[in-house]
Chain A
Amino acid sequence: MTNHYNDFKNSDVILNMGGNVAENHPVSFKWIQAAKDKGATFIHVDPRFTRTSAKADIFVRLRSGTDIAFLGGMIKYLIENNMVDEFYVKNYTNASFIVNPRYSFDDGLFSGYDPTKRAYDRSTWALEKDEQGIPRRDMTLQDPRCVFQLLKKHYARYTLQKVSEITGTPTVDLEKVYKAYGSTYTPDKAGTVLYAMGWTQHTVGVQNIRTMAIIQDLLGNMGIAGGGVNALRGESNVQGSTDAALLFHIIPGYMPTPRAPWATLEDYNKTTPSSKDPRSINWWKNRPKYLVSYLKAMYGGKSTKENDFGYTWMPKLDAGQDASWLNLFDEMFKGTFTGFFAWGMNPACSSAHAGKVRQALTKLDWMVNVNVFDSETGSFWKGPGMDPKKIKTEVFQLPCAAFLEKEGSVSNSGRWMQWRYKCANPPGAAMPDGDIMFELFKKVRALYEKNKGAFPEPILSLKWDYETSGHFDIHKVAKEINGYDLTTGKLMVNFVGLKDDGTTSCGNWLYSGSYTEAGNMAARRKKADPTGLGLYPEWSWCWPLNRRIIYNRASVDLDGNPRNPKRPLIKWDAEGKKWVGDVPDNAVPPMGTNGAYPFIMKPDGVASLFGPGLNDGPFPEHYEPLECPIEKNLMSNQRINPVIKVFEGGLDTFTTCDPKYPFVCTTYRVTEHWQTGVLTRWLPWLIEAEPQMFCEMSLELAKLREIKNGDRVRVESSRGKVEAVAIVTSRWKPFNIAGQTIHQVGLPWHYGWLHPKDGGESVNLLTPTIGDPNTMIPESKAFMVNVRKVTRQPATTKKIEKKG
């Protein structure tokens, strides 16, 4: 999130799209209610009517996988109706920047497309620079090659009629949403968007969010109280685990993973983002300091200037190599790995195409599974269709402490890092995960100390000293993440003091400032709220630098005065020569004096309406999901995103416009369960409330398939099938897509064969192996299925009939 949960109350218009905030983030709804109580408008856009829709002032439906069309139409509407924050767009976005004359867009393809590689050469998307290397601009926004004019041209095609035909949303509903949300273009109004996996789990996931980011920039809604682009993330620490880079492509603090062509630290640092514009802070220019400090936290005293601080010990990806989730399991299926850790995860149910994942697990020599409860992953070898006598995989199931049985911090979606205390001892032999890791690595190191092995240096050199009085001490880890000034031995105050000469260490620069000589900032519980905006600067701590709303200098005018005097987030104190309010992003004077652009993490210092860095285009464009119900994309002749990686062969199958699988299917959650249900299905109170798999469908579809409420149905894709109880409901309605009636169904993804016995299977047996071309997040929110009534009679019914 650019903003945070309490900040919802500062909004005038709240849009929840690609999510179901009332059911999936229930407690946060109180801040939406607080905004509504002050007169705010709450909009929900979703394929299905949910409890969120029930509380919405405006609810409209769209077919799954058509969000770019919906939002592209909004861009057109805003520009045509002058509902654009002109000051903001000119000063704080790249609207005025001039694009390379070779840039073009034609029939669904941007310039530079290579059909054989299914990839773009992005050189024609570059922004023009002058002799000094500074981007060329036209502040009148009239140049036909300026970003604003190209944006206007690109979305001119997204007419109400066309959008309506694609999304199935009536034009009157589209206009209702566009008008209401567009009303936030004036500086005294704030609009915020709350999204979740309904936007990310698509082959156009990144561009879904970018379309909304463009809208937020046009309306001047970024960097302000009550604004922002806000991901409602699904797990208590998925923000923190991402920050800590438990992902192939980054190392902690969003630095890129070293790659083979960057053999030395110097080579790596050559890729540091740069800007020649003196008004662009380009914060990433500091990356070399964060990298060396990271390497010092990794290898401690063994990390020296002479050995490139241990950079060579870091594992490196090949150029262009993608080791993301879907590829990982594809490689596992092919037999690439002998060993596997599933640590606090249940991929046998959580992964797209879970049937393939379960088969992949049989190809391993060994697997370590660490969890609080048993799961379909740990026990995969005795699952449906498995013969344990034929499965070689050696499995270790390690019991770990639950959240309330250990001490440590978690970062919520609003980037608040909150400390949790140990409340009780874990049961039986269960141990905190940190203790397990600590002990395990010591054992591995002992083996390498004793016996020869491949390239032992990084193992033997790793700094692994977390004991206090003979016990593993999580505070020592927290301090290592915060970092030290190695010349004084004192904890770093924050990342501003980090250096690239080896005199500082820091595990994750973003978290520097979280555990200082003044104490554990994440454990703070003071509730002062000096701005009245609910920033609570002394409650817990948030990255970066305890800044509660990022890019907050975009909330002021060129003199540093709040553009919205009703909700001043920061203000320049000209006499004191300092900012007052939230921690400024960052502490340079206002733009009107000798200040700098507000978007300090972007090389050009401004928000990108035109985004030349993505794999699938500088502007978002509507493409159909890989599996879709219509033969032709109504926007162009490119039916699917032209750069997605299509997995073929083996168990990977796809069907589109196939009469065998005529219905659109999507997946979602219920309030009473979480993820694959590992932490909820075993809780009696929760499983009683939501005991089994269901399939929701419209009255019309139920009639078509002769299904009654409560019937058992089989839902089937080309990859697998699940059984579910039919819920026939007006929460679903058929869509009118270009004159054709399209039905959609939805299923929750919390169940699995292990427990409860009659709870049903994972819906991910149905989902395809296909991902977004930028992130490789699977397309689990739009695929094609068939739904049929299961005619088998329950045994009890038969008995009664006989007696009768």
Chain B
Amino acid sequence: MKITRRSFLKISGATAAGTVMGGLGFDLSPVESYAQELRIKGAKENLTVCCYCSVGCGIIVHTDSGGKVINAEGDPDHPISEGSLCAKGASSYQIAVNSSRLQKVLYRAPYSTAWKEVKWEWALEKIAANIKKSRDASFMEKNAAGQVVNRTNGIASVGSAALDNEECWLYSKMLRALGLIYIEHQARI
């Protein structure tokens, strides 16, 4: 069965109703588990690892045929978590499906009281120009003792343990090429 948003809502509704009626003494658990199965039936299983603490629990994220996240649950094959998730990991579905997500590139001009939506191209070009301006103005080839230091004193960075390993390497590479020495992140605090 192909899960459309409509049928998904219908199933969710049935599940909720089932829970309420359960209080009347009827055993509706077969209905509930059938509904659960329907929810992810035909969905694609994607494997990932939780984004919160450092235990590294396995998560299966289900997506529908349109690529939309419809469910996230513990990966029973994972040797550390064996299908378990804590309250945060079990809520990770709501990271993907969340109307509060940042979805626009935003810019706040000096002394402005509001964000303005801008294009990636514009923002990246302006940031690059800022980097060059700050770097060129603060670059130090030699320190007070006359030793070669080749560093940018005017830019600092914090971040991030929320990046993947590959991104951490890229970020470290980029910042050090720019000459930064004030490079820090969560591990220090």
Binds A, one of B1-9, B10-18, B111-119: B111-119
B-side interface mostly: mixed
Which residues in window 361-406 of A have CB below 8 A to B? 365-366, 368, 370-374, 378, 381-382, 388-400, 402-406
Chain A 394-427 interface mask (CB, 8 Å, partner B; 1/0): 1111111011111011111110111011111101
Cβ contacts under 8 Å, A105 to chain B: none
Contact of A298 with B110 in the complex, beta carbons under 8 Å: no
Binds A, one of B22-30, B32-40, B74-82: B74-82
Cβ contacts under 8 Å, B104 to chain A: 399, 428-429
Contact of A778 with B91 in the complex, beta carbons under 8 Å: no
Can you give 18 A-B contacts (C-beta < 8 A)? A241-B168, A246-B159, A315-B179, A339-B131, A365-B130, A392-B110, A397-B102, A398-B123, A399-B104, A402-B101, A403-B48, A403-B49, A406-B164, A412-B49, A446-B128, A453-B136, A455-B141, A508-B169
Contact of A263 with B176 in the complex, beta carbons under 8 Å: no
Contact of A420 with B91 in the complex, beta carbons under 8 Å: no
Contact of B170 with A674 in the complex, beta carbons under 8 Å: no
A539 within 8 A of B: yes
A797 CA to B92 CA, complexed, in Å: 38
Q: Say yes or no: A683-B91 contact (C-beta < 8 A), given A341-B156, A404-B96, A454-B136.
A: yes
A436 CA to B126 CA, complexed, in Å: 14
Which residues in window 169-215 of A have CB below 8 A to B? 201
Contact of B165 with A420 in the complex, beta carbons under 8 Å: no
Q: Which of B87, B95, B125, B185 contacts A404 (CB 8 A)?
A: B95
A98 to chain B, nearest CB (A): 36
B138 within 8 A of A: yes
Contact of B69 with A424 in the complex, beta carbons under 8 Å: yes
Contact of A328 with B184 in the complex, beta carbons under 8 Å: yes
Q: In the A-B complex, list the 6 residue pairs whose CB atoms are closest, starting with the nearest.
A: A428-B103, A408-B164, A344-B160, A343-B159, A412-B56, A244-B168
Contact of A370 with B159 in the complex, beta carbons under 8 Å: yes
Contact of B87 with A686 in the complex, beta carbons under 8 Å: yes
A276 within 8 A of B: no
Q: Say yes or no: A776-B186 contact (C-beta < 8 A), given A389-B111, A399-B103, A404-B48.
A: no
Q: Say yes or no: A340-B179 contact (C-beta < 8 A), given A261-B147, A404-B46, A527-B77.
A: no
A30 CA to B167 CA, complexed, in Å: 31
A775 CA to B188 CA, complexed, in Å: 7
Cβ contacts under 8 Å, B180 to chain A: 315
**What would 10 more interface pairs be, CB under 8 Å, given A312-B150, A412-B55?**
A26-B86, A26-B87, A30-B84, A317-B151, A345-B159, A370-B159, A404-B69, A422-B46, A455-B139, A686-B88
Contact of A25 with B165 in the complex, beta carbons under 8 Å: no
> Closest chain A residue to B139 by CB distance?
A454
A258 to chain B, nearest CB (A): 9
Q: Across the A-B interface, how many residue pairs have beta carbons closer than 8 Å?
A: 485
Cβ contacts under 8 Å, A511 to chain B: 165
Chain B 127-157 interface mask (CB, 8 Å, partner A; 1/0): 1111111111111010101011111111111
A314 within 8 A of B: yes
Give the contact-size bracket for chain A: 35 or more
A374 to chain B, nearest CB (A): 6
Binds B, one of A131-139, A149-157, A247-255, A729-737: A247-255
A778 CA to B137 CA, complexed, in Å: 31
A685 within 8 A of B: yes
Cβ contacts under 8 Å, A683 to chain B: 91, 94-95, 98
Q: Which of B86, B154, B170, B186 contacts A27 (CB 8 A)?
A: B86
Contact of A323 with B79 in the complex, beta carbons under 8 Å: no
B46 to chain A, nearest CB (A): 4
> How many of B's residues come within 8 Å of A, CB to CB?
116
Cβ contacts under 8 Å, B189 to chain A: 201, 325, 350-352, 777-778, 780
Contact of B184 with A440 in the complex, beta carbons under 8 Å: no
Q: Which of B69, B108, B174 contacts A381 (CB 8 A)?
A: B108
Contact of A233 with B96 in the complex, beta carbons under 8 Å: no
> Closest chain A residue to B120 by CB distance?
A429
Contact of A443 with B130 in the complex, beta carbons under 8 Å: no
Chain B 49-61 interface mask (CB, 8 Å, partner A; 1/0): 1111111111101
Q: Which of A260, A263, A345, A527 contacts B160 (CB 8 A)?
A: A345
Contact of B182 with A328 in the complex, beta carbons under 8 Å: yes
> Closest chain B residue to A462 by CB distance?
B177
B181 within 8 A of A: yes
Contact of A417 with B165 in the complex, beta carbons under 8 Å: yes
Cβ contacts under 8 Å, B89 to chain A: 27
B178 to chain A, nearest CB (A): 7
Q: Say yes or no: A242-B182 contact (C-beta < 8 A), given A24-B53, A232-B54, A237-B168.
A: no
Cβ contacts under 8 Å, A421 to chain B: 46-48
Q: Say yes or no: A434-B166 contact (C-beta < 8 A), given A27-B86, A298-B173.
A: yes
Q: Which of A323, A382, A427, A434 contacts B167 (CB 8 A)?
A: A434
A234 within 8 A of B: yes
A316 within 8 A of B: yes
